[in-house]
Structure 1
């Protein structure tokens, strides 16, 4: 079975960490163990990853360099993080299991030039700042800052919808050859189609949405999105919290429309899972990195399935209706 696994940039730099290379290597080692174990079961694997902390740090480095070095546009910064994190993950996986062949493919993702996000940037990247003025200084002259999740100020950038994985054929061919492929890092390098070909644009694409487009393009049967919790939950953080073992695509879409899932965290994952299931008839899983292998085997995580495989069910009870939740 061909599986696309999407990991968040925050899985490589934890919330309480500064983001040193030593910290990132240690976190990558945890993920690598699960990926190598899954690869040994015989599946074809394509790995995608977020880059929010890393691309934000790169931007701050450029902004603070002032006139010493020329600043680079965001499409170039995304390309840099694809190489950086691809190298990190390849090394970590090969240290766990030298027999697993790995390859990183620089991946462009086509977006539309008239996407509304270019006028209304909303995707937070980089570190939190307590002070708005400090955040603006770090963002530089061309970018916007905004409060994020009540934890401080962050740089925000456009996050257009992904429409096409430019290198999907190369990614699929590499996966067929038996390699564990790392692709579409950071949501992919954002490009638009011009009269002379593809051109980069200043944006960061949501990696969950890009992963769903990639999974469809390479004919994956399963899309797995890794996050900080084992399962998708209804009424998260309250005494009525219900962890879900299974969600139908229709229930997932209805809950999204009702505002059940925050747009900056679980929302894009559930949206992307439902979209992939609708468009392919496959399945999607949302879980944490530590439970990846168990989730694929069916004993952990939240599985989003076609309506015909419903109904939805909590993790501790018989099937239940969540239509009115």
Structure 2
């Protein structure tokens, strides 16, 4: 099978862990072991998150500018590409350490977004460090950055437009046909817009990683699209009557309200792929990956009606 894997943030950093290279390396070793276990039997593309990593670089940029005011912070598209290289490097090295026969390639990938996307008119995605209201207003007065209240502090907000196209799609296909395990579209891809002459320019925004992974799965005609996160999809998660779903359909999932800040976007992404008619999708734990491909763990999303529980 041709499989697109969307790696959630927990694959790189457990909740509450410090964002050190050592911690990320240890978690990536575990992710690599799970992915390598299925890599010889299937064509694999891995799409990873990079939110915490970009946030850390933004804080480091901000701290350095205080020391050197003439050194302006790097834009988000540049920071995104930096973290794609870093995470991709760790993943491909640890995958090779698990199985030296694997051919692995990391591709820094640009994702096209539309200048007309309504998200640009209403930035809502929080990024970077926290500021006092006074400092946030100072920055807004001297730049085009926008800040909004996030609890007791203020944080920068940027647009989160939908992915329109994947620029290096042909390169992904070429690498797959050459029997590579491909790491691509990290963090949703480096966001770019194109003018009428198809000249590309980086954009200050954040693209949802799961939506880009879904688009990639459609574009390369994947047989299976898997979002790897903390676990399966549940009915009434966290309540006394919670129930783990073994198999579900877009129609069945539409009967539930999933939180916009956690499972909601993942449900939207897998349902979009299944509705495209190209194949099935699944949501489950990274450490059940081998069993997810055999429908023995996680939640499989297929066409049809109804929900089956474990």
Normalising by the residue count of structure 1, what TM-score does the alignment of the two structures yield?
0.87
The equivalent of 1:300 in structure 2 is: 297
RMSD (Å) for aligned C-alpha atoms: 2.2
Gap runs ≥5 in structure 1: 316-325
Is 1:241 equivalent to 2:236 in the alignment?
no
**Deviation of 1:212 (Å):** 0.4
2:204 aligns with one of 202, 205, 209: 202
Q: What is the CA distance between 1:136 and its match in structure 2?
A: 4.8
Q: Which residue of 2 aligns with 1:262?
A: 259
Per-residue CA deviation, residues 7-65 of structure 1 (Å, 9 max, x unaligned), is 0234212221111000000000010000000113x100000011110011111111221
Distance of aligned partners of 1:19 and 1:198 in 2 relative to their CA distance in 1, 3 Å threshold: same
Cα 1:233/1:160, change in 2 over 3 Å: same
Partner of residue 82, structure 2 = 80
Deviation at 1:195, TM superposition (A): 2.5
User: What is the deviation of 1:157?
Assistant: 2.3
Give the conservation status (yes or no) of the 8 Å contact 1:10–1:53: no
Conservation of the 8 A alpha-carbon contact between 2:221 and 2:278: no
Give the direction of change, closer, same or farther, for the CA distance of 1:135–1:9 in structure 2 (3 Å limit). Answer: farther
Say which SS state the counterpart of residue 27 (structure 1) adopts: helix
Once residues 152 and 30 of structure 1 are traced to their aligned partners in structure 2, the CA distance between those partners, rounded to angstroms, is 35
Answer yes or no: is the 8 Å Cα contact 2:218–2:278 preserved in 1.
no
Shift in Å, 1:206: 0.3
Residue in 1 that maps onto 2:94:
92
Number of the residue aligned with 1:65: 64
Unpaired segments ≥5 residues, structure 2: none
Query: CA 1:105–1:271 in 2, change beyond 3 Å: closer, same or farther?
Result: same
Q: Distance in 1 between matches of 2:278 and 2:105?
A: 28
Aligned to 1:17: 17
Normalising to structure 2: TM-score of the pair?
A: 0.91
For 2:307, the equivalent position in structure 1 comes to: 312
Distance across 2 between alignment mates of 1:264 and 1:291: 23
Q: CA-to-partner distance for each residue in 1:128-175, whole Å, 9 max, x for gaps?
A: x6x7559959x9862424437xx9875432110011111111101211
Alignment partner, residue 156 of structure 1: 157
CA distance in 1, matches of 2:80, 2:212: 14
Where does residue 150 of structure 2 map in the other structure? 147
CA distance, structure 1, for counterparts of residue 13 and residue 108 of structure 2: 21
What is the DSSP-based 3-state SS (H/G/I as helix, E as strand, rest coil) of the residue aligned with 2:194? strand
User: SS where residue 47 of structure 1 aligns?
Assistant: strand
**Aligned partners of 1:253 and 1:271 also within 8 Å:** no
Find the aligned partners of 1:116 and 1:95 in 2 and give their Cα distance.
Answer: 44
CA distance, structure 1, for counterparts of residue 232 and residue 251 of structure 2 = 18
Q: Do the aligned partners of residues 76 and 100 (structure 1) sit closer, same or farther apart at CA in structure 2, a change above 3 Å counting?
A: same
Kept in 1, the 8 Å contact 2:252–2:307? The answer is: yes
User: Partners in 1 of 2:134 and 2:53 — Cα distance?
Assistant: 19
Provide the residue aligned with 1:123 in structure 2: 125
1:176 corresponds in structure 2 to 177
1:25-36 equivalent positions in 2, closer than 5 A: 25-36=25-36
Alignment match, 2:51: 52
Q: 2:234–2:244: 8 Å Cα contact kept in structure 1?
A: yes
Q: Hey, what's the Cα distance between the residues in 2 that align with 1:153 and 1:290?
A: 36
8 Å CA contact 1:121–1:157 kept in 2: the answer is: yes
- Tell me the number of residue pairs that the alignment of Structure 1 and Structure 2 aligns: 302
Q: Which residue of 2 aligns with 1:190?
A: 191
